[in-house]
Chains A and B, each alone.
Chain A
Amino acid sequence: MPSTFEYTWDTPVYKGKTSFSTGLFIGGKFVDGSNGTTIDVINPATGKVITKIAEGTPKDVDLAVAAAHKAFETSWGLKCPGSERGRLLSKLADLMEEHNDEYAALEALDNGKTFNWAKNADLGLSIGTIRYYAGWADKVHGSTIETGEDKLNYTRHEPIGVVGQIIPWNFPLMMLAWKIGPALATGNAIVLKPSEFTPLTALLTAKLIQEAGFPPGVVNIVNGYGSTVGQAISEHMAIEKVAFTGSTLVGRKVMEASAKSNLKKVTLELGGKSPSIVFDDADLNVAVNWAAHGIYFNHGQTCCAGSRIFVHEKIYDAFLEKFTAKSKSLKVGDPFATDSFQGPQVSEIQFNRVMGYIESGKQEGATLHLGGHRIGNEGYYISPTIFTDTKPDMRIVREEIFGPVGVVIKFKDDDDIIHQANDTVYGLAAAVFTTNVNRAIKTAHALHAGTVWVNCSNTLYANVPFGGYKQSGIGRELGEYALDNYTAVKAIQINLT
């Protein structure tokens, strides 16, 4: 029998408690992993173990796929009308809303982001995404297509069947919502692997999925490691589609596994090295505030972080001064303190990785303009960090750091900046700061990025698509576009003669 995790908070920002099973959620039940082993869940603010959760294995993935397949054939898929799928998703959103603050506290405990950010950013978009896709469930239309009076041609947008979903640790609940929302709205059954670093909000959601009344097996949650559970999902012969969000390195593995197994459909949301571009006619305060948000939001652990900040040489000094002051003003501390802006990085591994990049920046000759050090000696806290005087070939300019580390680079004109901004294998997002809207439009159209923000950064809506150009990914999430990831188009041609 899996153990129940119980936790009580008594903090300045939240007092409350949570309770849910730590087992794998398969076929509507919470069960132990087939090996009986567990994974430690660490609180990154202290480095200490919060609890243990059941560890899934490839055998558990088989069981989950079987449960999903059975649900798809009997009580889900096209056996369940869209209006009912929508009703269940709405119910889940209602339940999540009832547990709003508890979720925020749990996410802060598990991931290290501050309670306030979790409550005000993560929860709103997570619940909003579920509600948004609830509304799509009975609106998945095909087309009727004229060829002549002798034929009736139409398309159906059918659910794919059993889909695999692998999500990261940076926005655990939100990434879960982005995945299950469109998949369930279109009638698919799911085997989902949360990140082994941040499984807790997924387990609370499993409890609410049960409570909402989804038929057993429609959503299965199998915690475990990427190399075991993630790999098993990617190469499973009975999973016909896999959606992965994470590093580009692992994204390649997912795609390889698909190629080697059953050519399952693959959508990927991968890394980024997104440019924030500040033109000389930008509103400097707007640019500074949003550029800071772009790199420090979520401690820089955001795929679309604006981690390369390009500033026109005419305003470079003025920008840097304000940007430095802004960066210094951000309070790093306990996720449950009332005034913390930034908590710890999610894990020791990530902490070491970010510190490694900071070291490489220094060694490759960049100027460490601000920060660059650990804060405190408990928990994985890193100070907001700025590098200047960089060269395009430096690792801190080319590679995704995934921490609160920004590089600030000078540029001289529009052609120069388009070239520099696009000079990356990534293409997830970009931000453009200018008060000249024509310039904004031209620049936005020239950037090779899936999202271009103008005079803002890192803002997302459930109904606006998100995804990458180039090596930042394949496919789009959010908006109506996500439905395409989870439907298979069948064309039916009926001969009437």
Chain B
Amino acid sequence: MAQPVEISIAAASRKVTVPTGLFINNEFVPSVDSNELIQCINPATEEVICSVVAGSVADIDRAVAAARAAYNTTWGKNVGPLERARLLHRLADLMERDRDTLAELESLNNGKPVRVARDFDIGDSIGCLRYYAGWADKITGQTIEVDNKTKLAFTRHDPIGVCGQIIPWNYPINMWAWKVAPALACGCTIVMKPSEITPLTALKLSELIVEAGFPPGVVNTVPSLGSVGGAALAAHPDVDKVAFTGSTVTGRKIMEAAAKSNLKKASPERALLAILEQVSLELGGKSPHIVFASADLEQAANWAALGILYNTGQDCTAGSRLFVQDTVYDKFISILVSKAKEIVVGNGFDEKTSGGPVVSKMQYDKVWSYIESGKQEGAKVILGGQKRAGKGFFVDPTIFTDVRPDMKIVRDEIFGPVLAVAKFSTEEEAVKLANDTSYGLGAGLHSKDADQCMRVSSALEAGTVWVNQYNLLYNNVPFGGKKQSGIGRELGSYALEEYTSVKAVHWNFGEKLDWPF
């Protein structure tokens, strides 16, 4: 095992070679002690694409050792900022060059439309690499006046060290870029564990790491089961920081493992800080989307549809609870339903497709069980809610109305194209309903009343508030959750804080210490 396989992408008349080994020290290698494989499934056809090596705990050890060795010799403080920037730009250039192939591979493994993968996922990823390349030589500390006659005090923003990075399956390439770019810009080395559901593009991107010229060990890629590789990274005594995006259940485990091992810095997006807060079973993102009476209803419907249907609802900030002001409710709902009906859900290689299947059988079953629970708990289905016949994990846009706050479809994160809609009459009521969740990742509001926009955006308990839009992110604007949706921020200058460790230097050049003091 660990040999590259050739995959045929019939729809694009292309053959792509995909490495299947673990990527450690710039080489693709078999597992050191295991014959386990991970099967990669095409969610549109339910067929096996190929199998890749599943990393074991010993493989994680090996990868961490490689990352540490690189940190101590060719990376970390041994590589200058201009070189880090140059390599990140080179990586971006290579991603640009291989854009089409990567988009097709992403669609094959994840299901999202090829054109969306190419233009958005990969486009934003290339931008992310270039954005952080620009930061590499701008990571400055402070000089601080303490006593000009005797002391010099300053800070250094050192790289934090060896970073474990665990990424999800909903935006495989984009989440890879969000993690890799700031870590490398700051001088950290990486052991990346891509999702076992979608490891292929992470492996393919590892080839570009070599081609770009990164020294061996700087980036290592170990596909592995979360309970094996993810757990091993989180508990590893020689990993300085673990960055996690994914399911809340696993996120909590990451935090626990980190607390128990070396108090490594853990910033799981959407995970619970078990040490300080009450455990809750309702975790993740359940972002509210509010439409006020003064909104441009046509536009608001576009954004609301985008908010729940983009990426087939498999988005941590999916606007999955929609609150519509009563005076415009009927009109808005009818516009929304017609918008949702225009979305073509199908095979990612079809140019007409706007949404693909959900990523796996497990997700498919989970989403359908929520739809069933919605029906059983008495919500009204006004769109969708019917399974398709045939192959592929397809879930069509589904809208529930007449929901109550205690329903599972209103409280739990579904992670599919399933929207729960409720009415409100006053602004206060809308804000209260919106904030009635343990999550706090995203929120959106539509209103032409500027003062209302200000008041409501200030009151909403979310790490990102969209005003008269939804979903759109920029590499230079930070992103992350409040409450139980996460700790820390990605993107923007803020991500640099996650990958640097501040050292304060107090330099005495004039004070003599009297003794005894």
A134-B509 contact given A152-B454, A480-B140, CB 8 Å threshold: no
Q: A134 to B81: give the CA distance in the assembly, Å.
A: 15
A496-B455 contact given A128-B82, A131-B85, A438-B509, CB 8 Å threshold: yes
As a 0/1 sequence over residues 94 to 136 of chain A, the CB contacts with chain B under 8 angstroms (1 = contact) are: 0000000000000000000000000000000000100110111
Quick check: which of B128-136, B168-176, B193-201, B416-424 contacts chain A, the rest being far away?
B128-136
Residue among A90, A135, A138, A438 facing the most chain B CB atoms (10 A cut-off): A135
| A340 contacts the other chain (CB 8 A) | no
A442-B509 contact given A141-B493, A496-B451, A496-B455, CB 8 Å threshold: yes
Q: Give which listed residue, B85, B131, B137, B152, contacts A138 with CB less than 8 A.
A: B131
Q: Is the CB of A135 within 8 A of B137?
A: yes
Contacts of A86 in B (CB 8 A): 130, 134
Contacts of A141 in B (CB 8 A): 493
| A391 contacts the other chain (CB 8 A) | no
Contacts of A137 in B (CB 8 A): 134
Q: Is the CB of A441 within 8 A of B493?
A: no
Contacts of B82 in A (CB 8 A): 128
| A210 contacts the other chain (CB 8 A) | no
Q: Give which listed residue, B85, B127, B133, B509, contacts A441 with CB less than 8 A.
A: B509
Contacts of B81 in A (CB 8 A): 463
Closest Cβ neighbor of A494 among chain B residues: B454
Q: Is the CB of A134 within 8 A of B510?
A: no
Residue tally, chain B, CB below 8 Å to A: 26
Contacts of B135 in A (CB 8 A): 135, 139
Contacts of B136 in A (CB 8 A): 135
Within 8 A of B (CB), among A7-32: none
For the complex formed, measure the closest distance between the CB of B138 and the CB atoms of chain A, giving whole angstroms. 6
| A83 contacts the other chain (CB 8 A) | yes
Contacts of A463 in B (CB 8 A): 81, 137-138
Q: A173 to B514: give the CA distance in the assembly, Å.
A: 56
A90-B89 contact given A135-B137, A138-B476, A462-B137, CB 8 Å threshold: yes
Closest Cβ neighbor of B508 among chain A residues: A438
| B148 contacts the other chain (CB 8 A) | yes
Q: How many contacts A-B (CB < 8 Å)?
A: 57
Contacts of A87 in B (CB 8 A): 130
Residue tally, chain A, CB below 8 Å to B: 27
As a 0/1 sequence over residues 64 to 84 of chain A, the CB contacts with chain B under 8 angstroms (1 = contact) are: 000000000000000000110
Contacts of B131 in A (CB 8 A): 83, 138
For the complex formed, measure the closest distance between the CB of A81 and the CB atoms of chain B, giving whole angstroms. 9
Contacts of B148 in A (CB 8 A): 445
Contacts of A445 in B (CB 8 A): 148
Q: Is the CB of B85 within 8 A of A442?
A: no
Q: A138 to B138: give the CA distance in the assembly, Å.
A: 13
For the complex formed, measure the closest distance between the CB of B10 and the CB atoms of chain A, giving whole angstroms. 35
**Does more than half of chain A's interface fall in helix, strand or loop, or is it mixed?**
helix
| B120 contacts the other chain (CB 8 A) | no
A139-B134 contact given A152-B454, A441-B509, CB 8 Å threshold: yes
Q: A152 to B493: give the CA distance in the assembly, Å.
A: 22
For the complex formed, measure the closest distance between the CB of A159 and the CB atoms of chain B, giving whole angstroms. 17
Q: A131 to B138: give the CA distance in the assembly, Å.
A: 12
Within 8 A of A (CB), among B239-265: none
For the complex formed, measure the closest distance between the CB of A322 and the CB atoms of chain B, giving whole angstroms. 29
For the complex formed, measure the closest distance between the CB of B438 and the CB atoms of chain A, giving whole angstroms. 25
Q: Is the CB of A135 within 8 A of B507?
A: no
Q: Is the CB of B455 within 8 A of A480?
A: no
A441-B507 contact given A139-B138, A480-B138, CB 8 Å threshold: yes
Q: Is the CB of B138 within 8 A of A136?
A: yes
Within 8 A of B (CB), among A142-169: 149, 152
Q: Is the CB of A135 within 8 A of B451?
A: no
A134-B134 contact given A441-B507, A442-B509, CB 8 Å threshold: yes
Q: A135 to B136: give the CA distance in the assembly, Å.
A: 9
Q: A61 to B130: give the CA distance in the assembly, Å.
A: 36
Q: Is the CB of A139 within 8 A of B476?
A: yes
Closest Cβ neighbor of A445 among chain B residues: B148
A135-B476 contact given A441-B152, A441-B507, CB 8 Å threshold: no
Q: A152 to B455: give the CA distance in the assembly, Å.
A: 10
Q: A101 to B136: give the CA distance in the assembly, Å.
A: 27
Q: Which are the 6 A-B pairs with shortest beta-carbon distances?
A: A135-B134, A438-B509, A463-B137, A441-B509, A138-B476, A496-B454
Please, could you name 27 A-B residue pairs with CB atoms under 8 Å apart, sorted by A? A82-B476, A83-B127, A83-B131, A83-B475, A83-B476, A90-B89, A134-B134, A135-B85, A135-B135, A135-B136, A136-B134, A136-B138, A138-B131, A138-B134, A139-B135, A139-B476, A437-B509, A438-B509, A438-B510, A441-B152, A441-B509, A463-B81, A463-B137, A463-B138, A480-B140, A494-B454, A496-B454
